[in-house]
Structures are given as C-alpha cells and as structure tokens.
C-alpha cells in the first residue's frame, strides 16, 4: 500500500490511488457517524446543507453513508442513510472512509476509536475527555496504522484554536495559553452577574440549550475545561497529554457576593484555563480567576469562549467564538472532515491556494460599490432657515431611505456666524446608489451650504 507523508503523518488507504486530472473526478469520500446527539446530528445537517460548497473545497463529494445511534430522536431526519443502533457497525463497515466519533464519554468511545484505527479508517472526534485522557495511546495507534485522528471540535467549539496554535502559530515559541474554554460555566457566571440569577437556575437553562455536558459537574467543577486545557498545552508546548496533572477548581462555591466585590474592585470573575511555560515546568490550571474589567476577555460573555495565545514572535493573539452548541461544534467537525477527505481524494494535494479547488472557483461577480447595502451617518451643513429639514427628509423619503435617528445641533462658532446649522442623520440600510442619488439632490438644495459628509455604518452581528 503506498503511503504519502503529509504534515508529518503518513496517510494510507484505498483511497491513495493515482491523482486524476480534475477534482471533479475523485470518488466520493464516505463518512460514518457514531452518535446522533447535539453534535452528531448538527454535523449530519451541516454536511447536507453545505454539500455543494464542501465539494468545491474538497474536490469530491462528502457522503454520509452510515449513521449509528441508540435512537433517532423526534425531529431528526436522516433520509435513507443507512442506520444502525450499534456504532461498531459503522466502524466495521468497509464502505466508510472516515468515522466520526461523536458519542462522548470513554467507555464505548475508546474501543470504538481504536477499532476504527485498526480497521485503517481515519477518525474525527469532538471528544475532549477521550483525547485528554487517552490521546497518547490513540495517536500512537493512529501513527502505526498511518491514519489520521482529528479533534478540532474537542476544544472551544467553533473556534479553530487547534489549527491556529498547531499551524498558524507554528513559527513561535509559545509562552502561554489562557482562556474561557467552558461555555456553560461562562454562561452561568454571566447570568449571575448581569441578572443576579441563581446558580442552579442558570445551569438548568444551559442544560436545556444543549451546552452542558451529560454530567454537568464536568462543566461547573472545571473538568471539561481541564480536558480542553490539557489538549491546548500539548500542542502549544509539545508535551504529552497529561490530564491527571491538571489542577482543577470549579465555580460552584462562588456567590453573588464574590461577583459584586469583584465588580467593586474593577474586576470580573472568569473561569479560566491557564497554561504557562516557566523555567521549572509548565503550569496547567483551571480555576475561577479575577481579571481586569478592561481586558478583552472580561467582555466575553454568555456561552462564548475566548482563548488568548502568547508567542514570542506574534505576541498575544485572541480567538473568540461560540464554544458549544450544535452548529458551531459541527463547524469544527466538518473542517476536520475536509482536511482528511482532501488527503483521501488526492494524497498528493495540499490545501488549495485559494481554499477551494482551482477548477471549482465560483464566477460570482464582485459588487460595484453602488450595489452595496449599508446604513449611513450623514452630516449636512444647512443654512439656518425654515423648511430645510423637511426638504432633506423628503428627499430621503423619495429614495425609500429610512431614518433611524436625527439630530439638529444648535449652531456655534463659525457656523453660528455664517448662520449654518449641522444636521446629523443616521439611516437604516439602503443600496448605495440610492444614497448617492439622495446626497446629490441634498447637495443641490440652495439651503445646503457644503458637501454632505457621509460615513458608512457596519454592525457586527455577534
Ligand atoms: N459543555 C461544554 C461547554 C460543551 O459548555 O463548553 C462544549 O465543549
């Protein structure tokens, strides 16, 4: 069986045939999903909904050929995909190229992953406990079998922090990694602080939203964060996974009083995972932490996660995003599938220069500025005369431009001397060509003294 060295790992399988001329010709890569919980079904759905876009990136179709779950829940639709109740049926299915281990826990997941590896299958997992506690054994088995085990989804949900540290920051000597890596805990602390809610009540909501672990003490006692920190420390410092040596302290003892005192002192309490390299060794610790209220991480609230990495060359870089939930975690799972599937489809390929396969680039046009939609701030310098404001608003109305706010300032200084008055308008979104036309008409009014100052508004949807 031929092997090809890619990113330090040899990859083998059926699948390593002679590269074909066009990416359209590669055989579909078959995926087997073990576990149809929040992440499993989220990944199934993402693979279906983004099917065409994913094929453009990989160069072949990604097909879910087999799923296993104890049951298909109400509202889940897996079409005519082959279904088993036994996850080993997926692992032993000769059709399956990549096994998604999305069961969670260790008891079934560990033998399942080891069997998949023994069967020569690549594995993608979101299981932080499995990687933190048994990763050393799993990666050794995978290396011996020349298969990949990818685990981006195991840390910080939708934030591609594994890739960022392992690849993006590979040129650095990493000094420390610190962050909020448990969404449930951050959600609880945020709600307690902002709404004065009780600990147990918020935890129940996090469970209902699908953020919490099956055993929520993993979240609130810091075990889940310790799993994730163990993984981050390994890839940051090049050390074996050492979960049992992680210091872990939870948030369950914190009271409203502590949160109020922190506020008074100018701090926030966050449940942080911190790993720092020192002369004597590596710190590996999870505990509630006072952080300055002005620091970026202090404003990371709700279920959001954020990880800051300090490297000797890049300095500090910050990664922020949804740390839990079906779609964000599925985003990381599918990214791993793409990495593995690209190698299966064509082992001699590297990541395409423009992210999508060269022969599958889209012909979508770049919009001219006139076709861009934006909201606007307008500063109009008008003569201090009756009817000016109504002339301006009439023009905006004729172009179906909705006004969000309007301020007419009292003229001062030079403006007052010249009998000019600044009119400030904030609009809703509109096509730029409409705004251009409206501005041209406003500037043509005899009562408008200067060119209109326009600044576009962009609202970050977070
Ligand atoms: N229970 C975890 C959290 C899920 O709340 O962050 C994502 O790992």
Atom of ligand 1 nearest to the CA of 206: 5
C-alpha 232 to ligand 1 mean position (Å): 15
Q: Which of 228, 245, 270, 409 is catalytic?
A: 228
Are 126 and 182 found together in one domain?
no
Distance CA 159, CA 52 (A): 23
- Measured over the CA atoms of residue 192, residue 196, residue 198 and residue 202, the dihedral's sign is negative
C-alpha 213 to ligand 1 mean position (Å): 6
Ligand 1 and 212: CB distance under 6 A: yes
Q: Give, using CA atoms, the residue closest to atom 8 of ligand 1.
A: 324
Are 299 and 253 found together in one domain?
yes
Ligand 1 and 153: CB distance under 6 A: no
Give per-residue pLDDT as tens, 79-103: 999 999 999 999 999 999 999 999 9
H helices of 241-325, in order, are 256-265
Are 258 and 273 found together in one domain?
yes
Respond yes or no: is residue 228 known to be catalytic. Answer: yes
* pTM of the predicted structure, to 2 decimals: 0.88
Q: Does 408 map to a domain? A: yes
Ligand 1 and 161: CB distance under 6 A: no
Query: Please, which residues bridge with residue 68 across strands?
Result: 34, 84
Distance CA 186, CA 206 (A): 10
Average pLDDT, integer, range 28-48: 97
Atom of ligand 1 nearest to the CA of 126: 8
- Helices then strands (H, E): number in the chain? 15, 19
Are 178 and 208 found together in one domain?
yes
C-alpha 239 to ligand 1 mean position (Å): 24
Ligand 1 mutation pick, 202, 219, 222, max ligand atoms within 8 A of CB: 219
Ligand 1 mutation pick, 154, 157, 326, max ligand atoms within 8 A of CB: 157
Give per-residue pLDDT as tens, 133-185: 999 999 999 999 999 999 999 999 999 999 999 999 999 999 999 999 999 99
Distance CA 219, CA 206 (A): 10
Tokens of 427: 């609009």
Q: Mean pLDDT score of the chain, rounded to an integer?
A: 92
Please tell me the predicted confidence (pLDDT) of residue 4. 34
Distances (CA, A) of 18 to 12, 21, 198: 13, 10, 61
Between residues 455 and 352, which one has the greater pLDDT? Answer: 455
Domain count, the chain: 3
Please tell me the predicted confidence (pLDDT) of residue 360. 92
Distances (CA, A) of 126 to 28, 324, 339: 23, 11, 15
Are 44 and 151 found together in one domain?
yes
**Which domain covers residue 149, as residue numbers?**
23-158+326-360
Are 264 and 229 found together in one domain?
yes
Ligand 1 and 182: CB distance under 6 A: yes
Q: Indicate which CATH number applies to the domain containing 450.
A: 3.30.70.260
Average pLDDT, integer, range 306-325: 96
Give per-residue pLDDT as tens, 8-33: 333 434 433 444 445 556 899 999 99
Are 440 and 317 found together in one domain?
no
């Amino acid at each position: 069986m031929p092997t090809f060295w890619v990113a330090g790992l040899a990859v083998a399988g059926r699948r390593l045939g002679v590269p074909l001329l066009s990416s359209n010709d590669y055989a579909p890569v078959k995926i087997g999903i073990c576990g149809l919980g929040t992440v499993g079904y989220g990944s199934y759905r993402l693979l279906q909904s983004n099917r065409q876009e994913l094929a453009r990136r990989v160069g072949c179709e990604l097909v879910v050929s087999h799923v296993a779950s104890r049951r298909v829940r109400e509202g889940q639709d897996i079409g005519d995909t082959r279904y088993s109740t036994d996850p080993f049926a997926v692992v032993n299915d000769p059709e399956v190229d990549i096994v998604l281990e999305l069961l969670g826990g260790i008891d079934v997941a560990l033998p399942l992953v080891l069997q998949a590896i023994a069967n020569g299958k690549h594995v993608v997992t979101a299981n932080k406990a499995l990687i933190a506690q048994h990763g050393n054994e799993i990666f050794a088995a995978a290396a011996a079998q020349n298969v990949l085990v990818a685990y981006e989804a195991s840390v910080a949900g939708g934030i591609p922090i594994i890739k960022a540290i392992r690849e993006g920051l590979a040129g650095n000597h990493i000094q420390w990694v610190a962050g909020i890596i448990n969404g449930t805990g951050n959600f609880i602390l945020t709600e307690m602080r902002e709404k004065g809610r009780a600990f147990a009540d918020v935890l129940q909501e996090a469970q209902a939203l699908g953020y919490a672990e099956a055993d929520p003490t993993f979240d609130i006692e810091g075990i889940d964060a310790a799993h994730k920190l163990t993984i981050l420390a390994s890839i940051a410092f090049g050390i074996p996974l050492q979960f049992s040596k992680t210091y872990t302290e939870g948030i369950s003892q914190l009271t409203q009083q502590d949160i109020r005192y922190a506020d008074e002192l100018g701090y926030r309490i966050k449940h942080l995972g911190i790993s720092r390299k020192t002369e004597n060794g590596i710190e590996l610790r999870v505990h509630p932490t006072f952080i300055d209220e002005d620091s970026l991480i202090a404003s990371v609230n709700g279920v959001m996660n954020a990880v800051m990495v300090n490297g000797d060359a890049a300095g500090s870089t910050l990664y922020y995003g949804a740390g839990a939930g079906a779609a964000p975690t599925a985003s990381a799972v599918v990214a791993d599938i793409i990495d593995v599937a690209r190698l299966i489809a064509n082992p001699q390929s590297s990541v395409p220069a423009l992210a999508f396969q060269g022969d599958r680039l889209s012909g979508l046009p770049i919009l001219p500025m006139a076709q861009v939609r934006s909201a606007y701030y307008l500063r109009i310098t008008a003569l201090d005369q009756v009817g000016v404001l109504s002339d301006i608003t009439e023009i905006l109305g004729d172009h179906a431009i909705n006004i969000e706010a309007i301020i007419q300032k009292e003229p001062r200084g030079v403006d007052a001397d010249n009998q000019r008055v600044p009119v400030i308008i904030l609009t809703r979104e509109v096509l730029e060509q409409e705004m251009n036309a409206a501005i041209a008409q406003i500037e043509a009014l005899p009562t408008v003294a200067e060119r209109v100052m326009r600044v576009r508004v962009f609202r970050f949807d977070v």
